[in-house]
Amino acid sequence: MNKNIYLHNITKKYGTPLYVYDANKIEYQYKLIKQSFSYIENLKINYACKANTNISILKFLKKLGSGLDTVSIQEIEIGLKAGFKPKEIIYTPNSVSLSEIKKAIKAGVRINIDNLSLLEQIGNDNPNYPIGIRINPHILGGGNKKISVGHIDSKFGISYYQLPHIKKIVENTGIKVEGIHMHTGSDILDIGVFLQGADILLNVASFFNELKYIDFGSGFKVPYKKNDTKTDIDMLGVSLKRKFLFFCEKYCKKLKLFFEPGKFLVSESGSFLVKVNVIKHTTSTVFAGVDSGFNHFIRPMFYDSYHHIDNISNPSGILRFYTVVGYICESDTFCVNRKINEIREGDLLCFRNAGAYCFSMSSNYNSRYRPSEVIIYNNKDFLIRKRENLQDLLNNMIEIEL
């Protein structure tokens, strides 16, 4: 069946706005990265679940063999409910309380620490609990400033210039360091960024004697439009092979190699389907107003991110220029002056690359309900999140008379 017709039928069944995920695409992306780094005997892919925490997606990735990368105690708890074993979950928080880290220790997960103060406190309280250390390599990597997290002014990681301080804390507390971690940003195209970071990370790793893993984070770029660029992970695999295997030989131990892809695994799998409520002409602009807004799909406003938009109701219509906007009582603009096949009221628009950081960043702003989520696998569709209703909005409110 034609994909556009299939998506039309899905909306008849589940309504709009609607997130739809293609599990076959997730599976393809997972196998692609495994193949690119197949030379590593102890390779472990840990899905960065902040991209999309739907428990059905987590369970599917676990079935494929993935571990889990988390950044909050709540993500850990969802991961455990999805069936991941504690040591299959790695927790890399930032600016969290010591009490939250203690909860993670109690859960038994792997932990990467990116703060000298917390490293010292954990070392004093739990010296026998093995931890990893997140290093800031001072590399400006990523598609834009908002998603670059490894530069010198970033809040993430411990500066590699502070290695002597790290070593002093380790010596003073006796804490066991089992891993070294790095993540420089998202949407990294230049594999030289990864290789530069690898040199720094492996150099830091050489100062610790009981390591079990080296964690290179992720940040692989996916294409957002036709003929768009993407990270050449096959070339990265070839280039990183020599560095990593040489280090392991010198270290006299076969270490585990971790990657933490999020967007790379789920972004392209996702479609966000909306219905056109109104076409509005002004003196210079044609607006297509849809039944959604930044409460459901904030990335274009928050990150200035590009998402290709198709009119799946009229794919062969004449190309015209539209500014697609939402129904929120703010400026929620998905695209400006974009060439799209002629849009009519009632048409269905499909926002591509909607699998990562879309539903997971949604809200109930303007007291709007969050949408349903559906997953497709081998041409069968399954509802994996119900559409919210009024009771969902009221559930945690306490009604009083003043």
How confident is the model at residue 152, as a pLDDT? 61
3-class state of residue 31 by DSSP = helix
What is the C-alpha separation between 120 and 169, in angstroms, rounded?
Answer: 6
What amino acid occupies position 146?
A: K
Query: Binning pLDDT at 50, 70 and 90, where does residue 4 land?
Result: confident
Where does a domain end: 216, 234, 264?
Answer: 264
What is the C-alpha separation between 124 and 61, in angstroms, rounded?
Answer: 36
Distance of CA 79 to the CA centre of its chain: 15
Where does a domain end: 264, 290, 325?
Answer: 264
Where does a domain end: 236, 264, 292?
Answer: 264
DSSP state of 253: S
Residue 103 located in a structural domain: yes
Q: 25-65 pLDDT, tens per residue?
A: 999 999 999 999 888 888 999 999 999 999 999 999 999 99
Any idea which of 90-104, 182-196, 197-211 has the lowest mean pLDDT? 182-196
Residue 402 located in a structural domain: no
Cβ–Cβ < 8 Å for 293, 326: yes
Residue 113, token pair as written in the block: 């620490």
Q: Per the annotation, does 219 bind a ligand?
A: yes
Residue 399 located in a structural domain: no
How confident is the model at residue 41, as a pLDDT? 82
* Distance (Å) of CA 25 to CA 59, 98, 402: 15, 38, 54
Q: Give the DSSP letter string of 123-179.
A: HHH-TTS-EEEEEE-----SSSGGGB-SSTT-SSSEEGGGHHHHHHHHHHH---EEE
Residue 306 located in a structural domain: yes
CB within 8 Å of 252: residues ≥ 6 apart? none
Residue 44 located in a structural domain: yes
How confident is the model at residue 225, as a pLDDT? 86
For residue 208, is pLDDT > 70?
yes
Calculate mean pLDDT across residues 86-90: 97
CA trace torsion 25, 31, 35, 36 (10° rounding): 50
Q: Per the annotation, does 303 bind a ligand?
A: yes
Instruction: Tell me: do 158 and 204 sit in the same domain.
Output: yes
Instruction: Tell me: do 357 and 260 sit in the same domain.
Output: no
Instruction: Tell me: do 64 and 209 sit in the same domain.
Output: yes
Q: List the domain range (segments joined by +) for residue 236.
A: 24-264
How confident is the model at residue 141, as a pLDDT? 53
Report the relative pairing of strands 286-290 and 270-281 from DSSP bridges: antiparallel
Residue 378 located in a structural domain: yes
Q: 245-278 pLDDT, tens per residue?
A: 999 999 999 999 999 999 999 999 999 999 999 9
Residue 334 located in a structural domain: yes
For residue 72, is pLDDT > 90?
yes
Per-residue b/e over 292-331, b at no fewer than 16 CB within 10 Å?
Answer: bbbbbbbbbbebebebbbbbbbbeeeeeeebbbbbbbeee
Using alpha carbons only, what angle is made at residue 235 by residues 231 and 237, rounded to the nearest 5 degrees? 100
Query: Binning pLDDT at 50, 70 and 90, where does residue 149 land?
Result: very low
What is the C-alpha separation between 372 and 387, in angstroms, rounded?
Answer: 4
How confident is the model at residue 172, as a pLDDT? 96
How confident is the model at residue 39, as a pLDDT? 82
Q: 106-117 pLDDT, tens per residue?
A: 999 999 999 999
Query: Binning pLDDT at 50, 70 and 90, where does residue 144 land?
Result: very low
For residue 151, is pLDDT > 60?
no
Domain with residue 378: its CATH number is 2.40.37.10
How confident is the model at residue 102, as a pLDDT? 96
Domain with residue 47: its CATH number is 3.20.20.10
Instruction: Tell me: do 288 and 329 sit in the same domain.
Output: yes
Q: 296-348 pLDDT, tens per residue?
A: 999 999 989 999 999 999 999 999 999 999 999 988 999 999 999 999 999 99
For residue 148, is pLDDT > 50?
no
Cα dihedral sign for 191, 195, 201, 205? positive
Q: Per the annotation, does 357 bind a ligand?
A: yes
Q: 294-306 pLDDT, tens per residue?
A: 999 999 999 899 9
How confident is the model at residue 122, as a pLDDT? 95
For residue 88, is pLDDT > 90?
yes
Instruction: Tell me: do 13 and 121 sit in the same domain.
Output: no
Distance of CA 218 to the CA centre of its chain: 10
Query: Binning pLDDT at 50, 70 and 90, where does residue 280 land?
Result: very high
Active site residues: 329
Instruction: Tell me: do 67 and 53 sit in the same domain.
Output: yes
Calculate mean pLDDT across residues 208-231: 89
Q: 153-166 pLDDT, tens per residue?
A: 668 889 889 999 99
Instruction: Tell me: do 216 and 360 sit in the same domain.
Output: no
How many domains would you assign to the chain? 2
Instruction: Tell me: do 338 and 286 sit in the same domain.
Output: yes
3-class state of residue 315 by DSSP = coil
Instruction: Tell me: do 32 and 176 sit in the same domain.
Output: yes
Instruction: Tell me: do 89 and 223 sit in the same domain.
Output: yes
What is the C-alpha separation between 224 and 307, in angstroms, rounded?
Answer: 6
Residue 106, token pair as written in the block: 């109690």
Cβ–Cβ < 8 Å for 67, 47: yes
Calculate mean pLDDT across residues 211-215: 95
What is the C-alpha separation between 88 and 213, in angstroms, rounded?
Answer: 13
Residue 401 located in a structural domain: no
Query: Binning pLDDT at 50, 70 and 90, where does residue 146 land?
Result: very low
Instruction: Tell me: do 298 and 382 sit in the same domain.
Output: yes
Instruction: Tell me: do 252 and 324 sit in the same domain.
Output: no
The packing angle between helices 98-107 and 116-125, to 10°, is: 50
